[in-house]
Amino acid sequence: MAGNPDFDLFKLGDEHEELRAAIRSLSEKEIAPHAKAVDEESRFPQEALDALTASGFNAVHVPEEYGGQGADSVATCIVIEEVARVCGSSSLIPAVNKLGTMGLILNGSDELKKQVLPQLALGEAMASYALSEREAGSDAASMRTRAKADGDEWVLNGSKCWITNGGKSAWYTVMAVTEPDKRANGISAFMVHKDDPGFSVTGYEHKLGIKGSPTAELAFEDCRIPGDRVIGDPGSGFKTALETLDHTRPTIGAQAVGLAQGALDAAIDYTKDRKQFGKSISEFQGVQFMLADMAMKLEAARLMVYTSAARAERGEKNLGFISSAAKCFASDVAMEVTTDAVQLFGGAGYTTDFPVERMMRDAKITQIYEGTNQVQRMVMSRALLK
């Protein structure tokens, strides 16, 4: 069959490439200069939030009817990827805004969307996702947080942990048990606001990486919320949680790809500049093979992430395998590429003078959150054997 010159197979559209150029320029100018200090001081990247908000990149996924840009899933991944290329902590601003509102977008009422989404689009608020508990991590269905109807309100009691951007977000998608005897089918999803009575942030984790993104524990003590803040029907919360992850696991893959790309770029520049035995170390075949393997795996990871995001955007069914595969493969690649980047820097890579050690520390969490990579393999195998 003759080739069609007008058909660019597997090529992103011009609007996606223009988006990449814009967010890369912003990231390098407004976010990268602060990344080292954000990590060393374990402080929230306010400069990144301000720059992303001013440019409309803080929550690009919000649909246009709620004041957002309505960016497709691939575009959202590109934004996260390019921010992560310079600062992993900062990339969690657009990533977690999507995670914290994806269930609402998928299954929430129009009235509830109007309460929450315009605030994100305007940069007035951020959102987080509250599923995990101390005794309910990978086994999320065993959660203990409870919600009971009381007249026109819901009353929540319990706690949540590992909440990314907790304390900085104003809105939280919270999963709670409403019918204990039904296990997973008795879990409901709610939108909780930081000002709701009975809600509090009770502590923060001290972490290996992504130190600029607070990871908090939340408490609900007779926390009262209006009755219309339930997402979908009562009892549909666990389904909402799983649907959310199908759409957001590719964003963790995108973060992993960005971290790996940043480390690879730094390694290429360093090996071309570093001289040993009278020549650049990039001239040694052993170094060249390492760089080639890093870039090869990174390209494969990027394609899997974009494919997964595109399939979610098209509304395809049975996304479990590809979303888990994209997150799992990309995060494994990120850990390998960032570790190899540190190796290529030699002793210098082990110091904070260069960003690769930070990227390696940041990459590790991508193998853990939104489901460990062991859990991803369980999801994939179940999809294959179903």
Task: Render the burial of 242-254: b for 16+ CB within 10 Å, e for the rest.
Answer: ebbbbbbbbbbbb
Per the annotation, the verdict on 370 as an active-site residue is yes
- Residue 151 pLDDT > 80, yes or no? yes
Domain boundaries along the sequence of the chain: 14-121, 127-235, 238-385
- 14-121 maps to CATH 1.10.540.10: yes
Residues 6+ apart with CB under 8 A from 348: 270, 354
Q: What is the mean pLDDT of the chain?
A: 96
Q: Which helix (H) or strand (E) holds 200?
A: strand 199-204
pLDDT tens digit string along 364-377?
999 999 999 999 99
How far is it, in rounded angstroms, from Cα 238 to Cα 372?
18
Q: Closest Cα partner for 305 from 241, 252, 361?
A: 252
The residue-averaged pLDDT of 61-85 equals: 97
What is the amino acid identity at position 14? D
Q: Helix axis angle, 73-84 relative to 237-273, nearest 10°?
A: 40
Q: What is the pLDDT of residues 293-350, one digit of tens each?
A: 999 999 999 999 999 999 999 999 999 999 999 999 999 999 999 999 999 999 999 9
What does residue 122 show for φ and ψ, rounded to 5 degrees?
A: -85, -5
Identical fold for domains 14-121 and 238-385, yes or no, is: no
| Per-residue pLDDT reduced to its tens digit, 343-367 | 999 999 999 999 999 999 999 999 9
Task: Assign domain 127-235 to its CATH architecture.
Answer: Beta Barrel (2.40)
pLDDT confidence tier of residue 4, bands split at 50, 70 and 90: low
Model pLDDT for residues 237-282, shown as the tens digit of each residue: 999 999 999 999 999 999 999 999 999 999 999 999 999 999 999 9
Tokens 């197979």: give the residue: 9
Instruction: Give CA–CA dist 335/266, Å, rounded.
Output: 15
User: What's the whole-model pTM score?
Assistant: 0.96
Cα radius of gyration rounded to whole Å, the chain:
21
DSSP code per residue over 333-353: HHHHHHHHHHHHHGGGGGSTT
- Strands (E) across 45-150 are located at 127-130, 146-150
Residue range 238-385 forms a domain whose CATH class is mainly alpha
What is the reported pLDDT for 11?
86
